[in-house]
A and B are shown apart, each in its own frame.
Chain A
Amino acid sequence: MSEAALACALLALDPEGLKGAIVKGPADGFLASLRHLSQRKTHRIPPHIGMDRLTGSIDVAATLKSGAPVHDRGLLAESDGFLLLTSAERLSPDKAALIAAAMDHGAAFTVIAHDEGIDDERAPLILAERVAFLLDVSRFEPLDIDIAAARALLPRVEIADAITEGLCQTALALGLSSIRPAVMALRAARAAAALDGRVQVDEDDARLAASLILAPRAVTYPAPPEEEPDQPAPQDAPDPGEEDGSPIPQELADRLREAVKASLPPGLLAALEKNLRQPGSKAGAGAVSQKAGLRRGRPAGTRQGEPKNGARLALIDTLRAAAPWQPLRRRSNPIRKGVQVEKADFRIRRFKEKRETTAIFAVDASGSAALHRMAEAKGAIELLLADCYVRRDRTALIAFRGKQAEVLLPPTRSLQRAKKSLADLPGGGGTPLAAGIEQSMLVADQVRRSGGIPLVVFLTDGKANIARDGTADRAVALRDAEAAAKALRLAGFRTLMIDLSDTRTGPAAKLAEAMGADYLPLPHADASRISASVNAAMKAGA
């Protein structure tokens, strides 16, 4: 029996309390099963849905037809079934915030966010925070059960204090900072008991709730419980309903923790490590900040004109323009029914695109660079960060060392996080320059696709010695790096190369030429000059 199937049953049983799920992978089976079990309707919401459709506004078509304004309450107020957010990773933060606010106000709908993102793209965190389940439904096998009996049982299910306490302890041990998941774990445990035909939550229910709801949100790996002298376990058969029989909270918490550990997916440890490297961040905190400032053309009013050549008609404004003339027009043309709109009333939307610059710092943290002037490089970046802060630009940080490059900080506006990642930057190891360049290109490409302007700043001595495939071969490494640099030039990103080596004729200078970067040797540049040149580059790019 898969976890996803159980979660599906629990959600169908208590959609109000569990609030929804974020699902990854092909979701048809999951959705069909959910619909079948719950007998509720599903309303699809694509990420490009209009804001007014969500919150409700004047129904323009009906208004034009009837001549009197017709209001539409909006999907968030109307729907009471499942709200299926397709491609949830593309949902803009403001729409996600609207949905979240509606949930906070006790909306009748249940959110199923289908996250179809790859890599770094994720469903908005603000929603992930508010739903119970974060599921991978790619191998979904529907459960063949009937939940009618369980539904009748659910309101009577009791939960012992010890179990509540155990769940809270588990949540704390996993480093959760939000209390919502703990509350929902309680609901899930109740639903699980009801599903099993009981009116008393037992340990297994709690274990299931913990592994379904708390484990996927883990920020820290639970510490092993302190070695205890073998205690006899008297709760082999805890008698439900009897206070005496309920397990001692501490032991229960330990056992829950074990259950959670067992259900942590492989590879999570690596993910956790990553989370730890960004102190204070919860799993995937980058996702929202990545899109937070994204403004692909905010509306900049309307103007008179015809909706041709892709211009969008601003219906409300058109009506508004026509409104004052209605009595006059009705007098001159009494036969025509409804609002009389004429061509001169047409208003079209204008958008102003405010493109944000994202400075991507690719830092060579290898031994050779560290030896030279890591401290100075860090100082220079700090200065630049301060500039970015003033200009409200976003920053990203990539470090390459050892055998690979990694994104320490996805594009963010939070200076605090940038600062922390920089402070924790480890040093030493080889110089996988090619990997570094490629990684920067990926991030830059992401930025550009989401409507921003990327600026890549390399800080390296250019002494590549790890090839793309991870082998330590200086010649191949240099060739790979140059190839990557050329690709970068072809992609047409603005780049700046800050040379950390002592000579102006070293490999870094050559690379700069290959990637068409502005070249700035550090020995002759003080920190303020670096920041001035980055600023100049940003202005030129904007």
Chain B
Amino acid sequence: MSLRYPFSAIAGQDELLQALLLTAVDPLIGGLLAFGDRGTGKSTAVRALAALLPEIRATSCAYHCDPDSTSAQCDACRKAATHKLRKISIPVVDLPLGATEDRVLGSLNLERALSHGEKSFEPGLLAQANRGYLYVDEVNLLEDHIVDLLLDVAASGENVVEREGLSVRHPARIVLVGSGNPEEGELRPQLLDRFGLSVEVRTPTEVKTWVEIVKRRDAFERDPEGFTALWEKQEDQTRRRIVKARKHLNEVEVPDFILERAATLCIHLKTDGLRGQLTLMRAARALAAFEGAKHVTDDHLKRMAAPSLRHRLRRNPLDETGSTTRITRAVTEVFGA
């Protein structure tokens, strides 16, 4: 595997980068959907995030369970009296478009079956991605049966395998990150709703930004090591900020009037279900934590409204008005100008 492009060196996609960072601060926000043109750095950003994420403590099982939370452990870890601990970096797993169900869910371990005649479980991508990210590029082209399966796991946080005589369940708390180009097909509303945040990625229109991006990219491709070293300091800074924000997340206060504001906004926009409001609250809190604030303010709420809600608006498929415009309008109405 070659070196990854440094996260901090990505230029001109601030909304996307911020949203990604917030999912790292609070995984409960529930994933991110990045829709937009090709070649705008969507996949680069997601893959760059992997190198940026802080390390976590994990048990030594195949699912790297959280040693501090029994409820989110696999059966073996729950039964074990003591755990062998290790430090791992938060996994970011790519789900390729052509992945089979076997590959995603896990299947019978052929090697053990052949050599020992034993039935044992070979963990799949979901196991690998537990406590981390599962990234699907071109998510709108994903086969429907894989989509169904992801929906189920993302909702329950658990992967249940009942096939080939195997009966296994293991934790699969994943942050689903998807990217794609809406012109090649749209996403089912059920799947849309599962993503916490959504970002519309656009091509920068300024020559200056282009020049900066092209130069950095070129420098990276010509000398990956040197370029990465150049950005190491900034990467470190951001990493420390994430760790700090994660620690302070639970101390950030969400005043009642903010909750009310959020509710008013959601009612005003007629978003379906409560998930939108919950995400908005969590995202605003994560933002506050990331910026070192003690409590969530109107400003945090305003800034997270579009990414938390734009994909949840009940859409008249033939309405021309963009979701972002509708949200901006509603924000102005609810918060006053």
Contact = CB atoms under 8 A, between A and B. Distances in A.
B117 A324 contact: yes
B214 A413 contact: no
Nearest to B98: A94
A178 B37 contact: yes
B207 A169 contact: yes
Contacts of A325: 117
B218 A183 contact: yes
A106 B1 contact: yes
A168 B214 contact: yes
B138 A319 contact: no
A241 interface: no
A298 interface: yes
A9 B143 CA distance: 40
B43 to A, nearest CB: 6
Interface residues of A, number: 73
A522 interface: no
Nearest to B164: A320
Nearest to B138: A97
Contacts, number: 171
Interface in B76-126: 94, 96-98, 100, 108, 110-111, 113-117, 119
Contact of A417 (B96, B119, B183, B214): B183
B185 A293 contact: yes
B317 to A, nearest CB: 5
A22 interface: no
B162 interface: no
B2 A105 contact: yes
Contacts of A101: 94, 96-97, 137
Interface in A266-303: 280-282, 285, 288-289, 292-293, 295, 298-299
Interface string A316-348: 100110011111100000000001000000000
Overall SS of chain A's interface: helix
A323 B113 contact: yes
Interface string A420-447: 0000000000000000000000000000
Contacts of B160: none
B250 interface: no
Interface string A59-77: 0000100011100000000
A535 interface: no
B261 interface: no
B293 interface: no
Nearest to A280: B183
Nearest to A390: B317
Given A69-B111, A105-B2, A288-B184, A179 B213 contact: yes
Contacts of B141: 93-94, 97, 292
A98 B114 contact: no
A288 to B, nearest CB: 5
B41 A179 contact: yes
Contacts of B113: 320, 323-324, 326
A126 B218 CA distance: 21
Given A165-B207, A179-B203, A179-B214, A94 B39 contact: no
Interface of B: 1-3, 37-41, 43-44, 47, 94, 96-98, 100, 108, 110-111, 113-117, 119, 137-138, 141, 143, 145, 164, 182-186, 188, 203, 205, 207, 210-211, 213-215, 217-218, 221-222, 317-318, 320
11 contacts: A16-B221, A94-B143, A125-B38, A165-B211, A169-B207, A176-B203, A179-B40, A282-B37, A320-B110, A320-B164, A389-B317
